[in-house]
Structure 1
Amino acid sequence: MNVRVAEASAVRVEPVSSPLTGHARPPGSKSLTNRALPLAAMARGVSHLSGALKSDDTRYMAAALRQMGVEISEPDETGFVISGSGALKPPSEPLFLGNAGTAVRFLTALTALVPGDVTVTGDAHMQKRPIAPLIAALQALGVRAEAPTGCPPVKVQGSGHLPGGAVTIDANLSSQYISAILMAAGCADAPVSVQLSGEGLDARGYVDLTLASMRAFGGEVRQTGETSWDVQPSGYRAADVLIEPDASAATYLWAAGQLTGGRIDIGLAPEDFSQPDARAWDIISAFPHMPDVIDGSQMQDAIPTLAVMAAFNAKPVRFVGIHNLRVKECDRIAALSGGLNLIRPGLAGEEGDDLIVMSDPALTGSSCTAHIPTYADHRIAMSFALAGLCMHGVTILDPGCVAKTWPGYWDTLAELGVGLHFTD
């Protein structure tokens, strides 16, 4: 991200006068990068990650692993070289992870393997994001961990060991609790059986990403039921991994092409992604005839993209299965509803945890005076920029927050021909 963007207080996005076309590559997958980094750190030997994401979230993860004695070098803009010993050392200071929820949850579980005390914390936003179900699961496995507020900071009195056994996890708020336990279980002293409490699992595709990542590093994990898994204490071994582009980021480019009547080639077909958010392509490609009801439970990070697109759809859209969006970087349901209503009063509403967008194709080419608050949430900033492609007067506040997962987002839009006006 250039200095101008990082220091800007706002950016006004100019509507385009012709279809957006061309080539643009999203950054590497945040989900895959932040799984591969800790697994490589726990592996014995030297691992090479290529195509990886370099952003705030992954830099926090890498910095925390370095604090625990892992050697990590960065030979180029998308590469990490990780020298692991199969063990982590006690850090001399708390692990500060900003608002990187993935890193906080994964490292909370992995620090049970540290022979010493560890504090895992984050910024003011992160300290409002729930983690109690993960703490309860770790305690059930014999780990001395606590989070008095139910959110970070977390204090773990690591013994250097994770006992085996059986654990039941409440993953109603985040599938990352399951992924965290699964990854740590690969280095346990004995087999670990993991069972989800309740029925069904939102964001199941992300657990599948975790299983695939574990296996890429030699982990032995087997699904034993619809919501249960057995992990063997095999440890991990070094591997060379190519990280695919980020599917959540790809949705902005797919949507930008569709909204403007163009098409942007991102270098990978939607069906070739392993990440669950890629299934949003089917809905994006249906615009302006998106479904009346969209279930977002299995593609949660794509919902901001789809919700902003829905404002210009031919008919209203109801988003369901999105309750977890309440506890992301911000309350995304409220942020989306509020931002859309700044574009036009009554454009969106909330019914319980459902989001209803009262679509209006006549918005395209119209004008508004909407200064969209982003609540330090990268996905709110990037998705509402799409509205600016279609109508005059859309300004995004705190544009630098996109550095969390895509530092070059605004540069990419500019290279595609989008006019951007930054305010210091």
Structure 2
Amino acid sequence: MNASMLTGAESTHIPIAALPKSGSATSLASLLGGEQGVSTSPTLCEPATCSTDDLVSSIHSREIAFVDVEPVDLIIADVLGERDPRTIECLRINGCRMDGSSFSAIVEELCTLDLPNLHTVDVSKNQLGGPAAGSALARLLAHAPSIRFLSLGWNYLSLFDLKDIGLNTPCSVTSLDLRSNPLYVPRKSSRRSSGKASRRSSSTSQSDAEHADIFASTEWVYALIDAMPNLTHVQLAQANIGDKALVALLGALTRASTCVEYIGLEWLDLGSRLAALCRILDNTASSHLQDATDRSALHLNLAANNLGDAGIDVLTSSRARLSSLTLACNFITERGTSMLAKWLPSSEIVSLDLSDNYFGDQGMISLLAIYSANKSGMHYTQIRSLALNSCCLSDVSLRVLADALACNWAPLESVRILRNGRMTPGAKISL
């Protein structure tokens, strides 16, 4: 392994070349190995923009964009002007208070155009919801089969609204963003005019009782995912989704026949829903094919779920098969890191993010504990990327990490250990 220096103020960052590539614009390697990839931070403020290397340099001549425009002014022809619709690659309608009916009208207009190169549709931060919105999305995906990136975050969509997509010919979507949507129950029109807090605060238990009939059969959930056979990235952070719906959706996403690489489940309060968490984790056991050469790496982002040590106990007792795991901001203590230390050798984890868990040096000692001298030359774990930002670590943790690496604790290539104020400036370790 090449020697490099790590200090308390800097981090060594080496790409993980061994991870599989995907057809999506953001591969799993960039998710784990690059600061410019999809963020694994628990902080979620705005919908992510879709700025990728796939976009041509003169992007403004190849997109139709509306931002903070009244629905009556959403006229595609006016914005398109004299441009050839065949050159359009991106459609953005953000913060325009667009509901299902106005979106249907826009889709009707779009369906009169030839859009062979449209690959990005971002309609986040609107008021989309109900069957009309879902039917319009299904028509648009059928009309423009080149669409790969679909951003629906910060709307009023339920999973049931999207069921019409599953009735159509499979589309090319690789990235699906459903963040901060009331995914569990269809929203009534009367709720759309209420404040943000009330829109997101319906009780999960009440939803379970009132809408169990919708998920009595989950075949339509599987059909929805089957309609996106190339799907690799799914964002569900901050969604209002009940246990039954979440388990059904994750079951569909993590079958061996799917190629999903990243599932974002931040801010879902899974720490108070441990039975659902257990079922979700066990579902990942089927996400890998028996042949390791055909296996897709799966990155599960569980940041900011208030898991605590009880959640780590569920994780380490499950049948989860994951290649990458984000546990940032989950109140994990020394007890939790001790459980992880015992679980990691039998897991398939190559990337672990424990940032913003203030377990300190004692937790680090527990995490890196090696219970017998390792003289065989085999690594104790398979971790190649480790994130320990803001964990209240001092120079002691650096020394413990150095000793663990000397005992072949892991084939570590990338360490992020920023914002640990107890470390002496200039403290170093060699990888």
TM over 0.5: no
TM-score normalised to structure 1 length: 0.30
Query: Which of these two proteins has the greater Rg computed from alpha carbons?
Result: 2
